[in-house]
Structure 1
Amino acid sequence: MSTLDLARQLNAVETICVKRELQTRCASQPFDYIFVLDFEATCWDRLDKDRGYSEIIEFPCVLYYVKKENIVAEFQEYVMPIEKPRLTAFCTELTGISQKQVDNGCPLGTCLMLFRQWLNKQMIKFGITMETPYSKCTFATWSDWDLGVCLRNECRRKRIAYPTFFENWMDVRYLYREFYQRRPKGLYGALSEVGLEFTGRQHCGLDDARNTAKLIGRMIADGIFLRNTTESSGE
């Protein structure tokens, strides 16, 4: 029996019920495709005195097709940290990412180049455009940390040009709080509140991205109208 099933039996989980108009909502959404990102980065125990800046060590993205309610493509690269190249035991335990994986990974600049190539292939394959204000696709993250803080700061420190295609994105956590009027305990808690189970390993970037896409699908089914919540200054 899963933890969620047990919690339901004990009446410890409150499931949010919203009237669904999936077909109408899917048709009215401004985005046909959503690129869902969830970076994992170097991290330390709060008592560790040898802390450093966060460096991306896993760069995953899934492409969610709104009308079909499924993921149609995935990207994942492990990234080599150079400021603090040795992962802490805390980081490895939290993310499941090994020292060997990041040692064999690529530098951030190379990863961004590979991602751009993959992104272009998907856009050609599915006929995606990024025209504004109503584009066929956008990026999505659980909170603004990934694109607004982590990647931006790391690009600045390493003198890497911040990609222009990351100028706009939707903060799924912000939309969730606004739509359901709830403050969930992380992505796992948000899924539980709407009656979904987290699939995979928490803090695996690719699994987090997949589950964020699943949550977006449920939010659409429950009647949300998606929109970009953040505009990057590109600095």
Structure 2
Amino acid sequence: MSRPILVVDLEATCWRDKHTAPAEKEIIEIGCALVASDGTVLDDFSTFVKPLLHPILSEFCTELTNITQSNVDSAPGYPEACQLVDEWLGQRVRGLVWGSWGNYDRNQLLEEKARHCATPEFLGVPHINLKRLWARSQGIPPRGMTRALAYAGIPPEGTHHRGIDDVRNIAKLLPGISRQLINHAVARWTPYPEQGERT
């Protein structure tokens, strides 16, 4: 599969309780990278997002992500942030596949769609769980991104839990994922039901 993959990593409001459900969280950064099959980042983009339910970031959240209160105070709201992503991606969304390290990012986007009635256009194209596909390709149990990088002997760059840095690091792991597994996952993908439809 030679077409690029859109790698997406979200950061969200968080507290020391790590079991907070997506419904309680709000996206505060959207990080995106168009990545070639050899792991080369062709283009990338990031925007902070201003949270509404919990506009004041917790100290834990700021320490974890290095995203400051001033970053989100001056950021666009979620619907406007989606428009910025769409403008950056443009016509490249057609025929695209997007992936994230695990399913959290997909689930959070669906939660925000229900909350704001807005979503980036890429949510309408096939999603693949890069964490699962990478682990299957390596024949090992799934693991977090930093442990996956260590297993692959790849030094991480930037700040962990910053969306834009995480997508660049995930990009380095793409060459280790079987193209056959990616194609199979894309073929099995089905569109998400609209709000109110039966799942």
Q: TM-score range by the shorter chain?
A: 0.7 to 0.9
Whole-Å Cα distance in 1 between the matches of residues 128 and 16 of structure 2? 29
Task: State whether structure 2 residue 105 is matched by structure 1 residue 146.
Answer: yes
Structure 1 residue aligned with 2:148: 190
Q: Structure 1 residues 59, 164: closer, same or farther in 2, change over 3 A?
A: closer
TM-score normalised by length of structure 2: 0.85
TM-score normalised by length of structure 1: 0.73
- Taking the TM superposition and a 5 Å limit, the aligned residue runs for 1:104-183 are 104-120=74-90, 123=92, 129-130=94-95, 137-147=96-106, 149-158=107-116, 160-163=117-120, 165-167=122-124, 168-183=126-141
Q: Structure 1 residues 78, 161: closer, same or farther in 2, change over 3 A?
A: closer
- Give the secondary-structure state (helix, strand or coil) at the position aligned to 2:173: helix
Q: Which amino acid aligns with 2:15?
A: W
Do 1:169 and 1:231's aligned partners in 2 also have CA atoms closer than 8 Å?
no
Task: State whether structure 2 residue 47 is matched by structure 1 residue 77.
Answer: yes
Task: State whether structure 2 residue 19 is matched by structure 1 residue 43.
Answer: no
Q: Structure 1 residues 169, 86: closer, same or farther in 2, change over 3 A?
A: same
Bigger Rg over Cα: 1
Using the TM superposition, give the Cα deviation of residue 104 of structure 1 relative to its aligned residue in structure 2, in angstroms: 0.5
Q: Which amino acid aligns with 2:67?
A: I
Using the TM superposition, give the Cα deviation of residue 183 of structure 1 relative to its aligned residue in structure 2, in angstroms: 2.1
* Structure 1: tracts of 5 or more residues without a match: 1-28, 131-136
Whole-Å Cα distance in 2 between the matches of residues 154 and 47 of structure 1? 19
Whole-Å Cα distance in 2 between the matches of residues 33 and 84 of structure 1? 35
- Give the secondary-structure state (helix, strand or coil) at the position aligned to 2:155: coil
Do 1:179 and 1:224's aligned partners in 2 also have CA atoms closer than 8 Å?
no
Aligned-residue CA RMSD (Å): 2.5
Q: Which runs of 4+ in 1 moved over 6 A?
A: none
Whole-Å Cα distance in 2 between the matches of residues 113 and 209 of structure 1? 20
What are the superposed Cα offsets for residues 116-169 of structure 1, whole Å, 9 maximum, x if unpaired? 111116x2xxxx741xxxxxx31110011112x1111122122x1344531321
Structure 1 residue aligned with 2:171: 213
Structure 2 residue aligned with 1:231: 190
Quote the sequence identity (%).
30
Do 2:7 and 2:32's aligned partners in 1 also have CA atoms closer than 8 Å?
yes
